[in-house]
Chain A
Amino acid sequence: MQLDVPSDLGMVGDAVELVASHLPPGTLSPRRISFNLRTALAEALGNAIRYGTGEDPDRVVSISVELGHGVVRIYVVDDGNGFDTSQIPDPTHPDNLPREYGRGLFVIRHLVDDVAFNEKGNGICLTLRAG
Protein backbone atom coordinates (compact mmCIF):
# COMPACT_ATOMS: atom_id res chain seq x y z
CA MET A 1 0.00 0.00 0.00
CA GLN A 2 1.28 3.44 -0.86
CA LEU A 3 -0.31 6.73 0.08
CA ASP A 4 0.64 10.35 -0.46
CA VAL A 5 -0.85 12.55 2.25
CA PRO A 6 -1.19 16.32 1.76
CA SER A 7 0.79 18.32 4.30
CA ASP A 8 -2.27 19.16 6.37
CA LEU A 9 -2.57 18.14 10.01
CA GLY A 10 -6.31 17.75 9.52
CA MET A 11 -5.61 14.78 7.24
CA VAL A 12 -3.74 12.75 9.86
CA GLY A 13 -6.77 11.00 11.35
CA ASP A 14 -8.22 10.00 7.98
CA ALA A 15 -4.85 8.75 6.69
CA VAL A 16 -4.33 6.66 9.82
CA GLU A 17 -7.79 5.13 9.46
CA LEU A 18 -7.17 4.35 5.80
CA VAL A 19 -3.97 2.46 6.58
CA ALA A 20 -5.37 0.66 9.63
CA SER A 21 -8.56 -0.42 7.87
CA HIS A 22 -6.70 -1.88 4.89
CA LEU A 23 -4.46 -4.25 6.81
CA PRO A 24 -5.45 -7.84 6.03
CA PRO A 25 -7.31 -9.54 8.90
CA GLY A 26 -4.97 -11.37 11.25
CA THR A 27 -1.90 -9.32 10.33
CA LEU A 28 -1.75 -7.88 13.84
CA SER A 29 -4.10 -8.30 16.78
CA PRO A 30 -7.11 -5.95 16.71
CA ARG A 31 -5.83 -4.30 19.87
CA ARG A 32 -2.40 -3.55 18.39
CA ILE A 33 -4.02 -2.13 15.27
CA SER A 34 -6.55 -0.06 17.17
CA PHE A 35 -4.03 1.46 19.58
CA ASN A 36 -0.34 0.86 18.88
CA LEU A 37 -0.43 1.19 15.11
CA ARG A 38 -2.87 4.10 15.02
CA THR A 39 -1.08 6.08 17.72
CA ALA A 40 2.43 5.50 16.35
CA LEU A 41 1.40 6.30 12.78
CA ALA A 42 -0.43 9.46 13.88
CA GLU A 43 2.76 10.52 15.68
CA ALA A 44 5.03 9.84 12.74
CA LEU A 45 2.72 11.45 10.20
CA GLY A 46 2.03 14.47 12.41
CA ASN A 47 5.77 15.02 12.92
CA ALA A 48 6.46 14.74 9.19
CA ILE A 49 3.72 17.22 8.32
CA ARG A 50 4.56 19.72 11.05
CA TYR A 51 8.35 19.60 11.06
CA GLY A 52 9.30 17.92 7.78
CA THR A 53 7.06 19.78 5.34
CA GLY A 54 6.11 22.76 7.49
CA GLU A 55 2.38 22.25 6.84
CA ASP A 56 2.96 23.45 3.29
CA PRO A 57 -0.19 22.46 1.35
CA ASP A 58 1.81 22.05 -1.85
CA ARG A 59 3.93 19.27 -0.32
CA VAL A 60 3.06 15.70 0.58
CA VAL A 61 4.21 13.05 3.02
CA SER A 62 4.51 9.51 1.67
CA ILE A 63 3.35 6.45 3.56
CA SER A 64 4.13 2.95 2.38
CA VAL A 65 3.23 -0.30 4.07
CA GLU A 66 5.06 -3.61 3.72
CA LEU A 67 3.58 -6.87 4.95
CA GLY A 68 5.75 -9.82 5.91
CA HIS A 69 5.16 -13.04 7.82
CA GLY A 70 3.83 -11.77 11.13
CA VAL A 71 5.27 -8.31 10.62
CA VAL A 72 4.11 -4.93 9.33
CA ARG A 73 6.55 -2.18 8.36
CA ILE A 74 5.25 1.33 7.81
CA TYR A 75 7.50 3.91 6.19
CA VAL A 76 6.71 7.61 6.59
CA VAL A 77 8.90 9.89 4.47
CA ASP A 78 8.82 13.63 3.91
CA ASP A 79 10.90 15.86 1.64
CA GLY A 80 12.33 17.94 4.46
CA ASN A 81 15.86 18.20 5.79
CA GLY A 82 15.44 15.61 8.53
CA PHE A 83 16.34 15.93 12.18
CA ASP A 84 18.83 14.55 14.67
CA THR A 85 16.99 12.08 16.89
CA SER A 86 19.83 12.07 19.42
CA GLN A 87 19.05 15.67 20.40
CA ILE A 88 15.60 14.97 21.84
CA PRO A 89 15.40 15.44 25.61
CA ASP A 90 13.77 12.87 27.89
CA PRO A 91 10.12 13.97 28.20
CA THR A 92 9.72 12.10 31.48
CA HIS A 93 12.40 14.16 33.24
CA PRO A 94 10.66 16.23 35.94
CA ASP A 95 11.78 19.46 34.27
CA ASN A 96 10.16 18.39 31.00
CA LEU A 97 6.89 16.93 32.30
CA PRO A 98 5.03 20.28 32.22
CA ARG A 99 6.06 20.89 28.61
CA GLU A 100 3.39 20.69 25.92
CA TYR A 101 5.68 19.24 23.27
CA GLY A 102 8.49 16.68 22.95
CA ARG A 103 6.82 13.32 23.63
CA GLY A 104 6.26 12.09 20.07
CA LEU A 105 9.31 9.95 19.45
CA PHE A 106 9.27 8.68 23.03
CA VAL A 107 5.69 7.46 22.53
CA ILE A 108 6.52 5.85 19.18
CA ARG A 109 9.45 3.93 20.66
CA HIS A 110 7.19 2.44 23.33
CA LEU A 111 4.37 1.44 21.00
CA VAL A 112 6.15 -0.37 18.19
CA ASP A 113 8.68 -3.20 18.14
CA ASP A 114 11.34 -1.34 16.22
CA VAL A 115 11.98 2.21 14.99
CA ALA A 116 14.52 3.05 12.31
CA PHE A 117 15.40 6.27 10.51
CA ASN A 118 16.96 6.82 7.13
CA GLU A 119 20.36 8.49 6.94
CA LYS A 120 19.00 11.94 6.19
CA GLY A 121 16.55 11.77 9.10
CA ASN A 122 13.49 12.57 7.00
CA GLY A 123 12.13 9.03 6.94
CA ILE A 124 11.03 6.71 9.70
CA CYS A 125 10.20 3.00 9.60
CA LEU A 126 7.81 1.62 12.20
CA THR A 127 7.91 -2.14 12.65
CA LEU A 128 5.10 -3.98 14.42
CA ARG A 129 5.15 -7.73 14.87
CA ALA A 130 2.24 -10.05 15.47
CA GLY A 131 1.76 -11.51 18.91
Chain B
Amino acid sequence: MRFTLKKDKSGIVIVGVEGQLIVGNRQELKQKVLDALEDGSRKFVIDFSKTGYIDSSGLGVLVSLSKKIREQGGELRLAGLNADLQTLFELTKLDTLFAITRTAEEALAAF
Protein backbone atom coordinates (compact mmCIF):
# COMPACT_ATOMS: atom_id res chain seq x y z
CA MET B 1 0.00 0.00 0.00
CA ARG B 2 1.39 3.37 -0.95
CA PHE B 3 0.10 6.84 -1.78
CA THR B 4 2.02 9.08 -4.14
CA LEU B 5 1.43 12.76 -4.81
CA LYS B 6 2.79 14.71 -7.75
CA LYS B 7 1.86 17.94 -9.51
CA ASP B 8 1.56 18.44 -13.23
CA LYS B 9 2.78 21.60 -14.99
CA SER B 10 -0.47 23.45 -14.31
CA GLY B 11 -0.44 22.61 -10.61
CA ILE B 12 -3.02 19.84 -10.64
CA VAL B 13 -2.28 17.32 -7.90
CA ILE B 14 -2.31 13.68 -9.02
CA VAL B 15 -2.66 11.17 -6.19
CA GLY B 16 -1.76 7.55 -6.89
CA VAL B 17 -3.24 4.78 -4.76
CA GLU B 18 -1.21 1.58 -4.93
CA GLY B 19 -2.73 -1.50 -3.28
CA GLN B 20 -5.88 -0.76 -1.36
CA LEU B 21 -7.79 2.14 0.16
CA ILE B 22 -9.40 0.80 3.31
CA VAL B 23 -10.21 1.56 6.92
CA GLY B 24 -6.59 1.04 7.97
CA ASN B 25 -4.98 3.60 5.66
CA ARG B 26 -7.70 6.06 4.69
CA GLN B 27 -6.53 8.67 7.20
CA GLU B 28 -3.10 8.75 5.58
CA LEU B 29 -4.62 9.56 2.20
CA LYS B 30 -6.94 12.11 3.74
CA GLN B 31 -4.10 13.91 5.49
CA LYS B 32 -1.92 14.02 2.37
CA VAL B 33 -4.71 15.58 0.31
CA LEU B 34 -5.72 18.01 3.07
CA ASP B 35 -2.08 19.11 3.41
CA ALA B 36 -1.96 19.86 -0.32
CA LEU B 37 -5.27 21.72 -0.03
CA GLU B 38 -3.87 23.72 2.86
CA ASP B 39 -0.83 24.55 0.73
CA GLY B 40 -3.07 26.09 -1.90
CA SER B 41 -3.74 23.27 -4.37
CA ARG B 42 -7.33 23.23 -5.61
CA LYS B 43 -7.48 20.69 -8.44
CA PHE B 44 -7.01 17.01 -7.61
CA VAL B 45 -7.06 13.73 -9.52
CA ILE B 46 -7.00 10.46 -7.61
CA ASP B 47 -5.68 7.71 -9.87
CA PHE B 48 -6.88 4.21 -8.99
CA SER B 49 -5.21 2.41 -11.89
CA LYS B 50 -2.95 0.54 -9.44
CA THR B 51 -5.64 -0.05 -6.81
CA GLY B 52 -6.88 -3.54 -5.98
CA TYR B 53 -9.84 -2.80 -3.73
CA ILE B 54 -11.59 -0.03 -1.81
CA ASP B 55 -13.82 -0.61 1.22
CA SER B 56 -16.66 1.61 2.43
CA SER B 57 -14.30 3.59 4.67
CA GLY B 58 -12.21 4.36 1.60
CA LEU B 59 -15.34 5.43 -0.27
CA GLY B 60 -16.31 7.56 2.71
CA VAL B 61 -13.01 9.39 2.79
CA LEU B 62 -13.39 10.23 -0.90
CA VAL B 63 -16.83 11.69 -0.15
CA SER B 64 -15.35 13.72 2.70
CA LEU B 65 -12.39 14.97 0.65
CA SER B 66 -14.60 15.93 -2.26
CA LYS B 67 -16.74 18.06 0.06
CA LYS B 68 -13.72 19.75 1.68
CA ILE B 69 -12.13 20.49 -1.70
CA ARG B 70 -15.39 21.93 -3.07
CA GLU B 71 -15.74 24.12 0.03
CA GLN B 72 -12.39 25.67 -0.92
CA GLY B 73 -13.52 26.27 -4.49
CA GLY B 74 -11.66 23.27 -5.85
CA GLU B 75 -12.52 20.04 -7.62
CA LEU B 76 -11.71 16.36 -7.15
CA ARG B 77 -11.78 13.93 -10.06
CA LEU B 78 -11.38 10.17 -9.96
CA ALA B 79 -9.69 8.08 -12.64
CA GLY B 80 -8.44 4.63 -13.53
CA LEU B 81 -11.15 2.51 -11.91
CA ASN B 82 -11.05 -1.13 -13.00
CA ALA B 83 -14.31 -2.90 -13.84
CA ASP B 84 -14.90 -4.10 -10.27
CA LEU B 85 -14.24 -0.69 -8.74
CA GLN B 86 -16.45 0.97 -11.34
CA THR B 87 -19.24 -1.43 -10.36
CA LEU B 88 -18.68 -0.58 -6.69
CA PHE B 89 -19.16 3.12 -7.42
CA GLU B 90 -22.26 2.38 -9.48
CA LEU B 91 -23.98 0.14 -6.94
CA THR B 92 -23.36 2.68 -4.16
CA LYS B 93 -24.47 5.42 -6.59
CA LEU B 94 -21.29 7.34 -5.80
CA ASP B 95 -20.69 7.52 -9.54
CA THR B 96 -23.33 10.28 -9.41
CA LEU B 97 -21.29 12.30 -6.90
CA PHE B 98 -17.91 12.17 -8.63
CA ALA B 99 -16.49 13.11 -12.00
CA ILE B 100 -14.94 9.82 -13.10
CA THR B 101 -12.74 9.37 -16.15
CA ARG B 102 -11.12 6.30 -17.66
CA THR B 103 -7.56 7.58 -17.24
CA ALA B 104 -5.74 10.23 -15.22
CA GLU B 105 -4.77 11.92 -18.49
CA GLU B 106 -8.45 12.32 -19.40
CA ALA B 107 -9.13 13.77 -15.95
CA LEU B 108 -6.31 16.29 -16.35
CA ALA B 109 -7.55 17.29 -19.79
CA ALA B 110 -11.07 17.85 -18.44
CA PHE B 111 -10.02 20.56 -15.96
Contact = CB atoms under 8 A, between A and B. Distances in A.
A46 B55 contact: yes
B67 A103 contact: no
A32 to B, nearest CB: 10
B20 A103 contact: no
Interface residues of B, number: 27
Interface string B10-35: 00000000011011110000000000
Q: Which of A43, A92, A100 has the most CB of B within 10 A?
A: A100
Contacts, number: 80
Contact of B94 (A42, A43, A97): A97
Interface string A78-93: 0000000000000110
Q: Chain A contact residues (Cβ within 8 angstroms of B): what range? A: 20 to 34
A14 B19 CA distance: 12
A8 to B, nearest CB: 8
B23 A12 contact: yes
Contacts of B53: 34-35, 38-39, 42
Interface of B: 1, 19-20, 22-25, 52-57, 59-61, 63-64, 67, 84, 88, 91-94, 96-97
Given A10-B24, A101-B57, A107-B88, 18 more contacts: A9-B24, A13-B25, A31-B84, A34-B53, A38-B53, A39-B54, A42-B20, A42-B23, A46-B23, A92-B92, A98-B67, A99-B60, A100-B63, A101-B56, A103-B59, A106-B56, A106-B92, A107-B92
